[in-house]
Amino acid sequence: MEPKYPPDAYRGFRARLPDWLIGFPSSADQSRAVRVLALQPGDCVCDVACGSGFNLRRLVRAVGPKGLVIGVEDGTHLLERSKRKVERAAWENVQLLDDLDAGRFMRTPVDGIIVSYNPPIFLQRPDLLEAAWETLKPGGRLALVAGRFTAPVFRAAGPLIRLSFRILGHPDDWHYWAVPEPWKHLEELSAGNISVEMRLGFQYLLWAQKPTGESAG
């Protein structure tokens, strides 16, 4: 499966930027995205693009010590930052992987999925989205908080956003953020069982539920 980012993306101090630019500013909405998954103690949840790990603490708290959190991140430097957080917190129920390979998951199907980092890329990469959807149990939910820059006022900020992608090391990914409704394929997978709540004009909180008639794993 093709990685989301070039190998040098997020090298050095840049691995900290997702925490500063997304993890802290969107903290309230990230917490709500975890809540809408309706996780129970003992559940298994997968963060399929865990980035720098800014949602890991919320997920560990949601599933409790008998649950399991599976974090997947193919960006080498982001994954290393997540590993350091897991080690410092001494979480024994977190499995971190560098590839979305369900055969390596300690448990499947998973009860919920969250897309913590760069959801527009994930939503528009069918190989990633479909592979994750296959691991989700029937009736399970996928949730995320993301942004889209399609309104005129936010298109005007496009040069600054493009510059940030260049600094982070993946300059060609702007187009994922300029799509008006990047969740269209997820809408198909969920048979229309999807909710999109607009926040702050350009940000949105999304969740979709897998039909109960589908198989998982």
Q: What is the pLDDT of residues 68-114, one digit of tens each?
A: 999 999 999 999 999 999 999 999 999 999 999 999 999 999 999 99
pLDDT band for position 151 (50/70/90)? low
In a domain, 175, yes or no: no
In a domain, 136, yes or no: yes
| pLDDT reading at 217 higher than 80 | no
In a domain, 97, yes or no: yes
In a domain, 113, yes or no: yes
Q: What is the CATH number of the domain that holds 186?
A: 3.40.50.150
In a domain, 158, yes or no: no
Token pair, residue 161, equals 């956003």
CB-based contacts of 166, cutoff 8 Å, min separation 6: none
The domain tally of the chain equals 1
In a domain, 4, yes or no: no
Q: What is the pLDDT of residues 23-54, one digit of tens each?
A: 888 999 999 999 999 999 999 999 999 999 99
Give me the domain span that covers residue 139: 12-146+181-209
Does the reported pTM lie above 0.85?
A: yes
Residue pair 211/193 in contact by the 8 Å Cβ criterion: yes
